[in-house]
Amino acid sequence: MNRSDLEEEIGRLLNDPNHTKWTTGDLRDRIEFAQTEVQALTGAVKTKESLTPVAETFEVQVNANVIDVTRVTLTESDGTVNILTGRSREDLDFYRPNWKNENSGKPEEFSWDASNRNIILVPKPSSAYAVASGLDVWEVRIPTSLAADSSEPFDANALMKPYHMSIVHWVVAQCFMDDGTPTALAKSKFHVSGNINSPGEYEKELRKINAKFTSPTSIPARIKWAPQGGRLGGGRWPSKSYPLG
């Protein structure tokens, strides 16, 4: 659906096909809110941004529209790619309390400072690791505004086309809330229940999006397991992993 299609479908569900009660201007504002909320709740569409770390500096600023960061890699001057471990600021302070005082070197971990739109690299990069466009950041961004009738939501991402109705249900629910009557509020709750455990049509769409983008069909889900403690290797004594010793 493009913006015009969204407006038509919303008008049909509201029994206001000519947009007499809810103007296209009202609907467009709500369409923008809706696509932003869907993207924020699901993180479905990822954008990769290449940044340049600054030597002796922890922070690297990201795009102004970033609302979450899911993955960061650091490429060295010889082309070696390192996957950085993500930690919350609280984890950094707890598990690596001296991180601010560490000498610069090769970054191993990162933390996402959402308030200031910064990636914090730990340890801070030395000049050897301040490689131009060497930091690749996978981001969840606020979708581009739908500027024209032909504009498609979610930055026209093809994988999101089946889920455009999530926007429709969100907007329809908001419009029914304008009336405030028991009947209108019941209709609003049909579209958006506000409870993921008792979903309305909107929450059902969110579930489908999360299922699709959390477990892509090309990557089967599996339980990840790594041996620990006595299971790390064999020895002369029996163990769970090596019962015969």
Domain spans of the chain, in order of start: 3-44+145-214, 46-141
DSSP 8-state assignment for residue 125: B
Residue 13 region by backbone torsions, left for phi larger than 0, else alpha for psi between -120 and 50, else beta: alpha
Residue ranges of the chain with pLDDT lower than 70? Answer: 215-245
Q: Rounded to whole angstroms, how far apart are CA atoms 57 and 30?
A: 40
How confident is the prediction for the chain on average, in pLDDT?
A: 90
CA pseudo-torsion sign 177, 179, 181, 183 = negative
pLDDT tens digits, 132-179? 999 999 999 999 999 999 999 999 999 999 999 999 999 999 999 999
The domain at 46-141 falls in which architecture? Sandwich (2.60)
Structure token digits, residue 44 = 């479905």
Q: What is the pLDDT of residue 244?
A: 63
Q: What is the pLDDT of residue 100?
A: 94
pTM of the complete model: 0.81
Q: Residue 237 in contact with residue 243, Cβ under 8 Å?
A: no
